[in-house]
Structure 1
Amino acid sequence: MRKFFKWFFIVTSIVIVTTMVNSAMRESKKLTEPHIGVVDLEGVIYDVDFVASALDHFANEPMVKGVLVRVNSPGGVVAPSHELYSMLRTYDKPLWAYHDGLAASGALMATLGADRIGTQSTTITGSIGVMIKAMNARELYEKIGIEEVTIKSGRFKDLLSSADDEESEERAILEELIGDSHEVFVQAILDSRPIDPQVLEGIADGRVFSGMRAVKYGLADEVSSGHEYRAKFARSQNVPESNILVYERSRGELLRQLLSQVRIALDGSAALMYIMD
């Protein structure tokens, strides 16, 4: 089975590379008028590749005067969520974000780096918190006669193994890890948003809330429709409202995103997540 998956990923990697090369060979349309660049942050955040590629593309296009990040995501893995936040915060061109429908946990964190955040009134956002999940199948293994053997270099090398009971020391290690990641999330909010620390303390417990309430808390700047918000951004940069350039996913990028999700599912290991469950 392992050999099958090994060859599966080798073959699909070749397909990805070939598709990306073919995509790169396509000529891009030369812009002669100022535009607003748009990149969509959708689905679970597993990596930063697509958004990073879009930001690089727009940064090197002189006719793109600003970038709008449209978000529809429940969050994702801790490290890439935080990396997106850092990338957006240090971007050289004007960058606005829009929470469209769902912008929870890691997706909220990522857009904290934007110059301005708009939202629908009914957008589901918040979920400020961290979690790690794993399955304990020890009793099932015993019932069907399966024994998992692990050779490890240290006592805690197989934390959250599906065949082991959780120990108090293991739980303490994981709680420390979760606490550190939660602290990073909270600090990112305090560094980037005009929010009362006491208000933040009261809502940073994993709860979700509406976009309308996010504006009241200071986690977003305004309630607006997506069209109106995009038009406002265009006007602020002296760009005609119709001049929008959306960065599209190539077939290779779509396949790579799918493989990232499949790989995590097949691996069976727990991931530290900023995500709405």
Structure 2
Amino acid sequence: MFSAIGKVIKWIGQHFLGMLFLLIAFVVLMPTSTTELKPANLQEIQLSGPIMDADVILKEIEEVQKDPKIKGVLLNINSPGGAVPPSIEIAYAIKALKEHKPVVAYASGMMTSGSYYASIHANTIIANPGSIVGSIGVIMESANVEELMDTIGVKTQIVKQGTYKEAGTPTREWTTEERAELERLTKDTYELFIHDVADARGLDLKHSKEYADAHIFSAKRAKDAGLIDHVGVKSQAKAEVEKLANVTDPRWKEKDKLESFMEQFATKGMMQLQNYFYGLKASF
């Protein structure tokens, strides 16, 4: 008996490393849940905070575009808007994505200005009952620190070519010509904004003052104005994605916890920077 036990112990000792390797491989490769046995077929993309750069969300949209397993997308928006070019980039990326798989935009908080622009090409727009929608307009502003500079004894020295090269300067009051130039720029951008909204939402461009003109709407009034399709909560928005994607076994892709934390951290950092620094540029 002792001899048999000794042989077993000896065999374990000789094969311990091999058994340990197999155990580790089994633990690593074994799915942690039954949901991982089947790949996700739906995905949520979040657009949060001021839109100052579109690279991260554009990359996420591109990855979804190329992933044949993902059949539908929820664009979850809680953003006050931001810079013009990145807002337009996101809008047109969503437009391209919609050609291959349905997209539902959901206003979970704020869907205003540039973030509303980003949503206009979605198949369906749904807003939380307590959300804020709209603010279709363009703003360009700068401080005038001329008096402060005079007080502390600071003067600027400038060499320039071009009448409007100093338009928007914060060091003095703008000239009439400079203001007119900046107003033309904001007018051009605003007309682009309302034209794209009217085209995407099937609205009458002649009546743009009713749904644009920087009006800020509650979800109910936004629906009445034609800016959104439904008023509802996130579960209803997800159900709409599942319906449009025509999936019988919906499985939502979960974000890595570390990645999610870093994105939230970056968003909060960008909001803080926007509070401290505000340069002259057209914004939605």
- Give the structure-1-normalised TM-score: 0.79
Offset from partner CA, 1:158-181 (integer Å, 9 cap, x none): 222111221000001000000000
Pick aligned residue for 1:140 from 148, 151, 165: 148
User: Is 1:269 the counterpart of 2:279 in the alignment?
Assistant: yes
Distance change in 2, residues 1:221/1:123 (3 Å):
same
Q: Secondary structure at the match of 2:159?
A: coil
Distance of 2:74 and 2:114 partners within structure 1: 18
1:237 to 245, 257, 280: 245
Q: What corresponds to 2:113 in structure 1?
A: 105
Relative distance call for 1:157 and 1:250 in structure 2 (3 A) is farther
Name 2:54's counterpart in structure 1: 48
Alpha-carbon shift at residue 185 of structure 1 (Å):
0.5
Q: Which runs of 5+ in 1 are unaligned?
A: 1-28
- Specify the SS of the correspondent of 1:41: strand
Of the structure 1 ranges 87-96 and 133-142, higher mean CA displacement relative to structure 2 is found in 87-96
Superposition RMSD on alpha carbons, in Å? Answer: 2.6
1:166 aligns with 2:164: no
User: How do 1:175-194 and structure 2 match up within 5 A?
Assistant: 175-194=183-202
Alignment coverage as a number of residue pairs = 247
Distance 1:75 1:158 in 2: 26
Which structure shows the higher helix fraction? 2
Number of the residue aligned with 1:23: none
In the TM superposition, what are the counterparts of 1:1-277 in structure 2 within 5 Å?
32-91=38-97, 92-239=100-247, 243-247=251-255, 249=259, 269-274=279-284
Could you tell me how far 1:61 is from its partner in structure 2?
2.1
1:43 and 1:263 map into 2 onto residues whose CA distance is 11
Give the Cα–Cα distance (whole angstroms) in 1 for the partners of residues 121 and 114 of structure 2: 12
What percentage of residue pairs aligned between the two structures are identical? Answer: 29
* 1:95–1:114 CA contact under 8 A, matched in 2: yes
Offset at 1:197? 3.4
Structure 2 unmatched ranges of 5 or more: 1-30
Any idea what SS the aligned residue of 2:178 has?
helix
What is the alpha-carbon distance in structure 1 between the residues aligned to residue 83 and residue 56 of structure 2?
Answer: 15
Larger strand proportion of the pair = 1
Shift of 1:50: 1.7
Is the 1:45–1:75 Cα contact (8 Å) retained in structure 2? yes
Higher mean displacement: 163-172 or 223-232: 223-232
Aligned-pair CA distance for 1:267: 7.1
Question: d(CA) in 2 for partners of 1:228 and 1:252?
Answer: 28
Higher deviation after alignment, 204-213 or 249-258: 249-258
Q: State the AA in 2 paired with 1:174.
A: L
Q: Do 1:46 and 1:77's aligned partners in 2 also have CA atoms closer than 8 Å? A: yes
Shift of 1:263: 7.4
- AA matched with 1:110: A
Q: Deviations over 1:66-110 (max 9, x none)?
A: 111000001110111111111111113211111112101111111
Aligned counterparts of 2:42 and 2:225: Cα–Cα separation in 1: 28
